[in-house]
Amino acid sequence: METAYRTDIAHRLQRQRGIRFFVATLLFTALLTAAGIFHVWYNYEVYSLGHKLAKQTVMHRKLLDETKKLKLELSTLKRSQNLNQIAKDKLGLRHAEQQDWVLVK
């Protein structure tokens, strides 16, 4: 009877070790899977941010070029002689003469 009792205890211990090993393996596998998913997500985020940065860099360069062009255009338009020339040539304007005046009361 005592050997049967010892055998029963040995089987229970063996079974508990098997369950513990299974749980430990399951936890390790879950941890490894989570680490793999995190790694993939992290690399995707790095790639995505790099792509966004490249787009913003291109946009920044275009805006700098446009700013330079607009500053150059502004400096040429500020010259009063140039303004008079543009008003005459492009817009068809002329200096008002006495007969063009209208008196408003």
Tens of pLDDT, residue by residue over 7-21, are 778 788 888 888 999
Residues of the chain with pLDDT > 90: what percent? Answer: 50
**Where is pLDDT greater, at 78 or 68?**
68
Q: Average pLDDT of 10-39? A: 93
Compute the radius of gyration of the chain from its Cα atoms: 42
Give the per-residue pLDDT at 11.
81
Q: Label residues 75-96 b or e (16+ Cβ within 10 Å = b).
A: eeeeeeeeeeeeeeeeeeeeee
Cβ atoms of 99 and 105 within 8 Å: the answer is no
Tens of pLDDT, residue by residue over 42-52, are 999 999 999 99
CA angle centred on 15, ends 12 and 19, rounded to 5° = 135
Report whether pLDDT(91) > 70. Answer: yes
- In terms of DSSP H, where are the helices of 1-105? 2-78, 80-89
